[in-house]
Amino acid sequence: MAIVLMIISVPSFAASFDDDGVLRLVNREEKITKNYDPDDLVKPDVPVNKKNQEDQIYLRPAAAKALEEMFAAAKEEKGYVLLAVSGYRTYGEQQLIFNNKVAQVGSKEKAWRKVAPAGASEHQLGLAMDVLSENFRLLNSGFLDTEEGKWLYENCQRFGFIVRYKKEWSNITGYSAEPWHFRYLGVSHATAVSKLDIPYETYASKARLLPEYVLTHGNALLLYALIENALYGDGALFEEMLSLPAETLEQQAMNIVDMTEKVLPEGLTLEEAVLSRGTW
Ligand SMILES: [Zn+2]
């Protein structure tokens, strides 16, 4: 029972696919309106690539804090100096970027593959950051071949970020590789997405069917197992999660404990699985 209480008392922000939700999916099919503008943006305390980019790195608070932790860890663990390039962008700024790209490459069609048109960029959510390093300051695929780029690929989920655009996913995401672009989802979801190694579109197609309490309080192991079951398995585990009565907070926490127990790998205690929002 103690573990149930712990789930309830561990502070966690609501995770949902709603407009202001940390899981909101944005792409060319699911656009944001011109008016969407998060009202809680803050500037993370991290170094920037160029001086004039100081005003372009705003993020929503949870993402900003996570970014600071990720930059600090890169420094402490490896001595890497990461640099923030671009965070929150308004609809209008995205429009400008897109129009500039059209002028540069000659057609809308060509620009489309490289840059999001207005309303189709998750930068407008305040939950995405472009990251480079002191040793590599260009937004191109070469970043992935650097030590810092590789470290980010392997570690970003520990802080709640995912690699959003990989080369092998371009037919689903609609973008070519962007090894500098990191999207914040919170540690549990980011860990599940990264273990599954799938584009966020694929993850979201199933995750958005889950009740909000599972999205908010579900641990990485459970989320991973549920989505894996829905995508590649018989779907029974996923259906069971949807069917559980969950009127009270206690009931919701109990459901999470019960379902986590079903997917618990050997060598891991239930407590570790439920309370570690990250690795297992
Ligand atoms: Zn980006």
Catalytic-labelled residue, pool 122, 148, 178, 228: 178
Q: Residue 30's pLDDT is what?
A: 94
Put residue 81 in one of left, alpha, beta given phi > 0 → left and psi -120 to 50 → alpha: beta
Q: Residue 174's pLDDT is what?
A: 85
Domain with CATH 3.30.1380.10 in the chain: 24-184
Asked if 178 is an active-site residue, the reply is yes
Query: Quick check: 7 and 253 in contact, CB under 8 A?
Result: yes
d(C-alpha 87, C-alpha 74), whole Å: 19
Q: Residue 125's pLDDT is what?
A: 97
Ligand 1 mean position to 259 CA, how many Å? 36
Q: What is the mean pLDDT of residues 255-274?
A: 91
177 phi, psi to nearest 5 deg: -60, 140
Q: Residue 179's pLDDT is what?
A: 95
Q: Residue 277's pLDDT is what?
A: 62
Query: Where are the alpha helices (H) located in 79-168, listed in sequence order?
Result: 91-105, 108-114, 147-155
Whether 122 has a pLDDT exceeding 80, the answer reads yes
Q: With 0-12 CB in 10 A as exposed, 13-18 as middle and 19+ as buried, what is 71?
A: buried
Give the whole-number percent of the chain exceeding pLDDT 90.
80
pLDDT digits (tens, 9 = 90+) for 181-220: 999 999 999 999 999 999 999 999 999 999 999 999 999 9
d(C-alpha 185, C-alpha 176), whole Å: 21
Ligand 1 mean position to 67 CA, how many Å? 14
**Residue 25 — very low, low, confident or very high, per pLDDT cuts 50/70/90?**
very high
Q: Is the pTM of this model over 0.75?
A: yes
Q: Residue 193's pLDDT is what?
A: 97
**Residue 12 — very low, low, confident or very high, per pLDDT cuts 50/70/90?**
low
Class of domain 24-184: alpha beta
Query: Quick check: 130 and 140 in contact, CB under 8 A?
Result: no
Q: What is the mean pLDDT of residues 133-152?
A: 95
Ligand 1 mean position to 49 CA, how many Å? 14
pLDDT digits (tens, 9 = 90+) for 35-63: 999 999 999 999 999 888 889 999 999 99
Ligand 1 mean position to 121 CA, how many Å? 8
Ligand 1 mean position to 164 CA, how many Å? 9
